[in-house]
Amino acid sequence: MHAEQRYLRVSGPRRLEEHAGEEQPPAADGVVVDIIYSGVCGTDVHGWTDGHMLPPAVFGHEWTGRVSAVGAEVSGIDVGRRVVGGVGPACGTCRPCVAGHTRHCGTVFAEANGVDDAAPAHGAFASRLRVSARRAIPVPDELSDVEAALVEPATVTFHAVRRTAMELGSLVVVQGAGPIGLLTAQHARNAGAARVIVSEPSAARRGTAEKLGFRDVVAPGALADALAQASDGLGADVLFECSGVASLLQPSAELVRRGGTLALLGYPLEESTVRYGDWQSRELTVIGSLAYTHEDFTRTMRAIAERRIDVATLHTGTVGLSHLGDLLSELDSGDSPHTKVLVDPRR
């Protein structure tokens, strides 16, 4: 292990604080990971602009690295092994698990949100991370370092598509072509969607969607007409709302056919207004999705390894730790051409 490490934490609205210090050894049931890449997502941007909304462990939660130290009680993970940050298997002892709801394990949910008892003191915008071995998931050799860094958002979207249990041949709309939307669209295609319409205001992101093989890629103003033509006026079987714009919740629901499904991935930070009677009278199924399970990670990595989804195309830039503040400001502006930027602490 190296004697010192660097890491960044949010210290207030739009403020970052750099720390350096001597690294602690791993807990008996933990590991220390030398970070290779950490992805920057919308949650990180919101946490930076807000200044206090995120638990420390969540600021920098999309990461991959190489294990540099292993606790005395850890088995199955050796020094030198590449891992990604994820969640452990269902614990079997929390109230949801005892009741038989292992896919909603309370321990796993706490890990996913950085509030479990073993949560790291900071996230992976760092040279090194001390973390529970439960959360260090081995990476298949077939995945590059860049692909490994994108496993976490790919798993978020795998989980969401899996929850919809869509029927084969479905007509799907994906609203928002940021990383979450682009990954959702690919998983929906793998799940048997006959046609996927992607709606996105950014021309650059529409171009990325087309590069990933999607033919029906439109600006938001053209979505209603494109969907009406594709469905003969019926509406979408499944609509994935990936933009997180609160004002779009009711308009999104109105694009779904009677008896169809509205799946919520984007996470708005303000209240939304909906017409409850509209949802009820059209018998919509509304599915919320947040985070993932351990199994979602292993299945997502298998899909990447088998080239069923392309995550590397989303990678549009890499910066060092010292440039993270500037990048967050750029992403917050809404004018950035980037899809997914990685932070390399070795720079």
Which string of DSSP letters, residue by residue, matches 152-163?
Answer: HHHHHHHHHHHH
How many other CB atoms are found less than 10 A from the CB of residue 38?
29
Distance, in Å, from the CA atom of 140 to the CA atom of 171, rounded to the nearest integer, reads: 33
The pTM of the full predicted model, rounded to 2 decimals, is: 0.95
Confidence of residue 287 (pLDDT cuts 50, 70, 90): very high
Q: Is position 304 within any domain?
A: no
CATH of the domain at 173: 3.40.50.720
| Average pLDDT of the segment spanning 264-279 | 91
pLDDT in tens, 79-108: 999 999 999 999 999 999 999 999 999 999
pLDDT in tens, 37-79: 999 999 999 999 999 889 999 999 999 999 999 999 999 999 9
Confidence of residue 268 (pLDDT cuts 50, 70, 90): confident
Residue 250's domain spans which residues? Answer: 154-288
- Please identify which residue in the block is written with the tokens 């739009």: 14
279 and 188 housed in the same domain:
yes
Q: Is position 306 within any domain?
A: no
What's the token pair of residue 177? 């072509």
Q: Is position 206 within any domain?
A: yes
**β-pairing verdict for 195-199 and 216-218:** parallel
pLDDT for 21 equals 81
144 and 159 housed in the same domain:
no
Long-range contact set of residues 197-202: C-beta below 8 Å, sequence gap at least 24: 197/171, 197/172, 197/173, 197/223, 197/226, 197/227, 197/230, 197/236, 198/173, 198/174, 199/173, 199/174, 199/175, 199/223, 200/176, 202/177
| Average pLDDT of the segment spanning 258-278 | 93
